[in-house]
Structure formats: structure tokens, C-alpha cells
């Protein structure tokens, strides 16, 4: 996989999840919302979400725009309680999943429904992310 580009350079908490209160581990030092997922936990959580909308924040520890949007992502997770919010640190450990999800730039947000990506937002574009979540939730 090619090295990820930071969009700024190019142009263990408990959460309410689809299966009730779950503890999946902390989200790392990025400070954002959502359950931290790995290559082993991502698809089982997405599958368990059923009809719920799932939003995945793919970030790296070194990405400035990722750190800037993290508090706003946290706010969204508190606003949309019917949506499952997840975070994936696109590090070496999760390289295979990042490749499978076709990640080229961080941050990238995937909005999934019924196990399929239906919207994608690249870069720290908060308004675009909100619009994508709203659209998928209402479909």
C-alpha cells in the first residue's frame, strides 16, 4: 500500500453501540469519539449494526487535520445516538483493512449502511460529513 497522505498536506471507553453498552478499547491519543476498531473487530461490528448507519473515521496519529476534526466527530457521536461511530488508526497493524477500504488520504470518513459504503468524505470537511450522515440516516 502506498503511504497515506494527510489531507492538510495535499490540497477503552463505553459507548452505546448496536449491541448495547460495549467496551472496545480506547481510541488512541487522537482524542476523538467512537469505538476504536482494528482489522479484526471492524467487520463484526459493522455486521452487527444491522439497519443502523455506521460512520468510520480513518485517521493517523501524525495527521494535523485528523486532530482538528476529532472534537467535532465526538460532538456528532453525541448528537446522533442512532448512528454507530467508529475510529480506525491507519497504522501498520491495520494496513490490510485500510487497503481493503481503499484509503489514500486521511482523514477519510466512510458512511456505511447494510455492510456497504454509501458515502465517503475525504479531508476534514465537517459540513460534508454532516450532510453525508444526514442523507444516509434518512434513506
Does residue 7 carry a pLDDT above 70?
no
Least confident interval from 18-27, 51-60, 89-98, 105-114? 18-27
Q: What is the pLDDT of residue 5?
A: 58
Q: What angle do CA 34, 77, 40 make, to 5 degrees?
A: 25
107, 59 in Cβ contact below 8 A? yes
27 assigned to active site: no
pTM: 0.79
Given a contact cutoff of 8 angstroms between Cβ atoms, the answer to whether 30 and 6 are in contact is no
What average pLDDT does the chain have? 82
pLDDT band of residue 139 (cuts 50, 70, 90) is confident
Assign residue 64 a region (left: φ > 0; alpha: ψ between -120 and 50; beta: otherwise).
alpha
Residue pair 105/6 in contact (Cβ under 8 Å)? The answer is yes
Catalytic residue among 6, 17, 27, 66: 66
Percent of the chain at pLDDT > 70 equals: 76
CB atoms within 10 A of CB 10: 11
Q: Tell me: the pLDDT tens digits for 103-129?
A: 999 999 999 999 999 999 999 999 999
**Of 77, 80, 78, which is closest to residue 57 (Cα–Cα)?**
77
- Residue 25 clears pLDDT 60, i.e. is over it: no
6 an active-site residue? no
Q: Are 31 and 23 in contact (CB under 8 A)?
A: no
* Phi, psi of 120, rounded to the nearest 5 degrees: -140, 135
Cell numbers found for residue 137: 440516516
Helix (H, G, I), strand (E, B) or coil at 42: helix
With the C-alpha atoms ordered 72, 47, 116, 58, is the resulting torsion angle positive or negative? positive
Amino acid at each position: 500500500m502506498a503511504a497515506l497522505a494527510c489531507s492538510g498536506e495535499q490540497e477503552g471507553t463505553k459507548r452505546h453501540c448496536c449491541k448495547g453498552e460495549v467496551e472496545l478499547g480506547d481510541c488512541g491519543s487522537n482524542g476523538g469519539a467512537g469505538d476504536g476498531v482494528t482489522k479484526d473487530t471492524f467487520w463484526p461490528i459493522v455486521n452487527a449494526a444491522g439497519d443502523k448507519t455506521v460512520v468510520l473515521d480513518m485517521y493517523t496519529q501524525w495527521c494535523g487535520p485528523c486532530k482538528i476534526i476529532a472534537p467535532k466527530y465526538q460532538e456528532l457521536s453525541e448528537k446522533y445516538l442512532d448512528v454507530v461511530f467508529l475510529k480506525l488508526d491507519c497504522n501498520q497493524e491495520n494496513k490490510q483493512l485500510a487497503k481493503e477500504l481503499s484509503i489514500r488520504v486521511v482523514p477519510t470518513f466512510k458512511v456505511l449502511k447494510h455492510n456497504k459504503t454509501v458515502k465517503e468524505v475525504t479531508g476534514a470537511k465537517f459540513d460534508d460529513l454532516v450532510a453525508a450522515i444526514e442523507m444516509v440516516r434518512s434513506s
